[in-house]
Every structure is written in C-alpha cells, then in structure tokens.
Amino acid sequence: MDLLSGRKANEIFEGQVHVYKHMYVYLNSMCLKWCIELEVPTIIYNHEKPITLHELISILQVPPSKISGVERLMRHLSHNGFFDIVTIHDDDDENKEEKEAYALTIASELLVKGTEYCLIPMAKCSLDPSVSSSYNLLGKWTLEENLTLSEISLGTNLWNFLSKNPSILTSFNESMASDSQMVKLALKDHNAVFEGLESIVDVGSGNGTVSKIISDMFPKLKCIVFDLPHVVENFSGTNSNNLSFIGGDMFNFIPEADAVLLKWILHDWDDEHCVKILKKCKDAISKNTKGGKAIIIDFVINEKQDEFGLTQMKLRMDIAMTTLNGKERSEEEFKKLFLEAGFEDYKIFPLTGMYSLIVVFS
C-alpha cells in the first residue's frame, strides 16, 4: 500500500517544502558566519550610511568571479532580517541615479565590533566547527549509554575539554560575557531584586561580567564571583572593593551570601545535579535571618506562549543542552527542582526576550 495514496498533491508538496527547509537550514548559520568573518556589519557601520554592492565588494576586495555570490549572500541575509535593502541617490552621480544599498537592522547592529552589546563572541563560539560539527553524531549519541555528545565527538566532556584548551576556554568565557551584556540592559528594570542585599555570590560566571554589572549598579553590594579554580585564576588580580573572585566546586560548597546568582547554570545539568546545586545554594544563604534567595536567569519553556517564535529557539537550545546531559525547563519542571531542594516559594519575571528571571525564596 502506498503510504501517501490518500493524500492530495498539494499536501505532499507542502510536506516536501517542510523537509527541504529543514535540510538547508544550516545555511542560515553559515551565512551568518560568513557575515561575521568578513565583518560586513562593521563595514556598513563605518561607512556611516547604507552601502551599495559595488562599495562593499570594493572594500572586501572581492574577485570578479565572486561578486554575484556576495550579492546572493547579502540577499539571503536581508531576507532573513540582518540587513534592509534600501534605495539611495548617489550624490556623486550627476543624474542622481537610484541605487540599491544595504542598511543595518537591529540584528546586524548587534554584530558590529566594539559596541556595548556586541554578540560576535557568542556567535563565533556557537558556530565554531568543534561545536557545530559534533551534531553530525546525534545518531551515535542516541545509541551510546551515558555518553554526552562532546564525549563522543571530542573524547571528553565539555568542561574537561575547555580546561585543557585555554584558547577555546577564553572564547567560551568571552561568549558568555557578550551574552551577559544583554542582562545588563534588562536588569535596569529589576533593581528591586537586589535591594536590601549586602552580599551575593555569582556561581559559574567565568570572568564575572554579570557580577561587574551588578557591582557597578550597587556599589555597596559585595559581589563574589565563584567558579572553578582554573577559570578564576586569571581574574583574581581584578578584585575591587566590592568584587572578588573565589575558586571552588559548587557541588562541594558555595560561599555564604545573602543571595546566590545562577545565570545559565541549571540548564547545563540533569535534575539530580540541579537539586544538589540548589541545596548548596540554600546552605549558602541559610544564615540570612531576613530570608535569603536564589536568583536564576535561564530559559523557561512555555509552548502555549510563542511570541516572536521564541519556543522554536528554546527547543533548539534544549537539544543542545540535552546532548550535554542538561535540559531547558518549563515552569513546572523548575518548580519540582525548587521544592525538592527545600525552597518554599518562587516568582518568575520576564527579563529579556529569551530569558526569565526566577527568584527562589528559602
């Protein structure tokens, strides 16, 4: 029996389109990588006005045989929201001929080098072949008992790989720092979460970008950056009056404070490890007589509310985390962790388009 014998032709064609769209979706990432490697957004920014194809290929020194390719790459990126194609008049042309030019959008403005909210480090780290190529082994990962995808593709778990490759660890920390700049923008509307605190420990935060942001916002708040010893050893010399770095293992202890901050930490771990982390958080804040709290910045999956298509992106991140034995979670899944770790209550606030701010009370 023909499986599709009962289907109309247009239904089959729709199915074909859906399959093909997903077959070639990797080209979206590769075009983005091309754009970043050639610094196209920075070139347009420095041009100080929309740039024509002729001007762009001249700056890039593109050989004649690749001009058409550049035009098509820019068309693809424009179609996907990274550039606007606008009409301009050439001031040097006596006939004032109209020409098409490329202008930055909010997405490509985030890819201009040296700007405050630049996401280039995050994009470069995520698109590094050592990361992206590993997903070719998803089938093998599925059939291997207890091995993470990095253990299959890199021969060791992600954290060991990073610790043994300083340049990649630096890239990873820079990517987390660039993402944290978005948190800086968002925290301006959430000052109340930190009011009344005298101390906070930022767990697993690498170079301490978020702590630096918080310490600048609240000069009287003592901020402790707590990460593995080999991570913080290069930053211990940057201690200031209200910012310090301490090395250790969060599964053994977390320094005492009024609050513990976990940004993009719990999604790295399975439920069992998350409960252990949260219990250590509870121990760390237990001496606060006014009631300590854990402050969590993470994705919260809500498939019933899908503004801007965020659920698809969060589900993709869930795949990435699942292959490392972690996961993205729904509110119910977070609630289960909090209760099992001994916390009494929690509140969830929208933070950025992607992240939520979860405040958990002991």
Specify whether the backbone of 173 is left (phi greater than 0), alpha (psi in -120 to 50) or beta: alpha
Q: What is the pLDDT of residue 74?
A: 98
Render each residue's pLDDT in the chain as its tens digit; 362 residues.
Answer: 578 877 899 999 999 999 999 999 999 999 999 999 999 999 999 999 999 999 999 999 999 999 999 999 999 999 999 999 999 986 666 667 789 999 999 999 999 999 989 999 999 999 988 888 999 999 999 999 989 999 999 999 888 888 888 888 888 888 988 888 888 888 888 888 988 899 999 999 888 888 988 888 888 999 999 998 988 887 766 667 789 999 999 999 999 999 999 999 999 999 999 999 999 999 999 876 567 899 999 999 987 776 667 888 999 999 999 999 999 999 999 999 999 999 989 999 988 888 999 999 98
What residues contact residue 22 under an 8 Å CB cut-off, 6+ apart?
none
> Judging by DSSP bridges, how do beta strands 345-350 and 329-330 pair with one another?
unpaired
**How far apart are the C-alpha atoms of 184 and 229, rounded to whole Å?**
25
Give 119-177 as a DSSP string: -HHHHHHHT-HHHHGGGGGHHHHHHSTT--HHHHHTSS-HHHHHHT-HHHHHHHHHHHH
**How far apart are the C-alpha atoms of 79 and 256, rounded to whole Å?**
51
Q: Which residues pair with 350 in a beta bridge?
A: 356
- Tell me how many degrees the CA angle 334-303-107 measures, rounded to the nearest 5: 100
Q: Give how far the C-alpha of residue 301 lies from the chain's centroid of Cα atoms, to the nearest Å.
A: 15
- Tell me how many degrees the CA angle 141-145-146 measures, rounded to the nearest 5: 90
**How far apart are the C-alpha atoms of 30 and 316, rounded to whole Å?**
17
Give 245-295 as a DSSP string: EEE--TTT-----SEEEEES-GGGS-HHHHHHHHHHHHHHHTT-TT--EEE
Please name which of 85, 138, 86, 83 lies closest in space to residue 108, comparing C-alpha atoms: 83
- Tell me how many degrees the CA angle 325-128-263 measures, rounded to the nearest 5: 50
User: Which residues are marked as active site?
Assistant: 267
Classify residue 112 by its DSSP letter.
S
Please name which of 72, 43, 73 lies closest in space to residue 56, comparing C-alpha atoms: 43
Q: What is the pLDDT of residue 352?
A: 84
Q: What is the pLDDT of residue 146?
A: 87
Place of tokens 């060791």: 156
- Tell me how many degrees the CA angle 136-206-164 measures, rounded to the nearest 5: 55
**How far apart are the C-alpha atoms of 62 and 211, rounded to whole Å?**
43
What residues contact residue 331 under an 8 Å CB cut-off, 6+ apart?
300, 302, 348
Q: What is the pLDDT of residue 77?
A: 98
Q: What is the pLDDT of residue 209?
A: 85
Q: Which residues pair with 357 in a beta bridge?
A: 297, 349
